[in-house]
Amino acid sequence: MTQPVAKLLVGFFIVAALLVVAAVVFTLSQSAPALPSLPQPNGYDDFVKAGKMVTDDPAGYGTMSEEELRAFVWKNAEALKLARTGLGRECRVLLDYSAINATHSRDLAGIKWLARTFTAEGRLAEMENRPGDAAESYLGTVRLGHAITRGGVIIDSLAGLAIEAIGMARLENLARNLDAKQCCKVASALETVESGRESAETMLKQERAWARRVGGFKGQIAGLVMFKTLRQVEQKCAGRVNAQQTRTRVLLLHLATRAYELERGERPKSLADLVPAYLKSIPQDSITGTNMTYYP
């Protein structure tokens, strides 16, 4: 290698190193975004308060007798009422920007109890042969899971997805017992949920801003060192968000198709047949962004 070429390569690597250092300094020097304003009143406050009101652990609702369920639901009627008030309000997560986030974790644990209480109410309605009321309760669970992710970070998204999954599983099992009108009502509610869902990209942006506030300069350095690991965590969470979107959209298609068949005595020939009487629009695939497909 000639001396001029060697000097050129050295100069190139020096410039590249300086550019990397400049990029790191620029990244670390950027202040975190301003704190978002919270809605007043905030539905999230209602959920936290309602979760603290739940009496007894509702985890065993699946094995309760009808009498036990009735007593449990009656004892928690006020908590459910407050939660439904919260579902009717704008909701945004109140993030804790301290290094120790124990309060927020306890709030999420209470909200999970609240979600199971909704589901216990739905199971009681099923036992009493009230499928429409059961669907409303399970929708409450789904809507609660969706609401507690707004403005939140990864931990909120994971908690919300887990809650949504509880309600979705019950709705999927219940669908065969719903009449056409009830199917349409649930499908419409799920469409509304999907239209207001915060994207995975938005959630990850909020996560990064939260991490910058909590970790400060040292946290940003650690984030650069652990960049690959953190991105893997983010990608896994984003994948779960997309999977939940797909599950929800498949169910609303199933409900709309069932309503069409119950009313018209035949299955639709294409998804276009469901719009606008049974669906506002054809749902899109969360990965490709194209219309979902249907095989009659």
Residues 132-142: tens digit of each pLDDT: 999 999 999 99
Q: Which of 24-28, 82-86, 248-252 has the lowest mean pLDDT?
A: 24-28
Residues 214-234: tens digit of each pLDDT: 765 455 554 554 556 777 878
- Band (25; pLDDT cuts 50, 70, 90): very low
Here the tokens at position 55 are 């009496």
pLDDT given at position 78: 98
Domain ranges in the chain are 38-274
Number of other CB atoms surrounding residue 223 within 10 Å:
17
pLDDT given at position 40: 93
What's the rounded Cα separation, in Å, for the pair 248 and 283? 10
Sorted by sequence, the CB contacts under 8 Å of residue 167 that are 6+ apart come out as 115, 118, 119, 138, 139, 140, 141, 142, 144, 145
Residues 177-197: tens digit of each pLDDT: 999 999 999 999 999 999 999
Three-state SS for 88?
coil
> What is the DSSP-derived secondary structure letter of residue 284?
B
> What is the DSSP-derived secondary structure letter of residue 81?
H
Outline where 66-152 has alpha helix (H). Answer: 66-75, 77-87, 102-127, 131-147
What is the average pLDDT score of the chain?
Answer: 85
Indicate whether 213 pLDDT > 50: yes
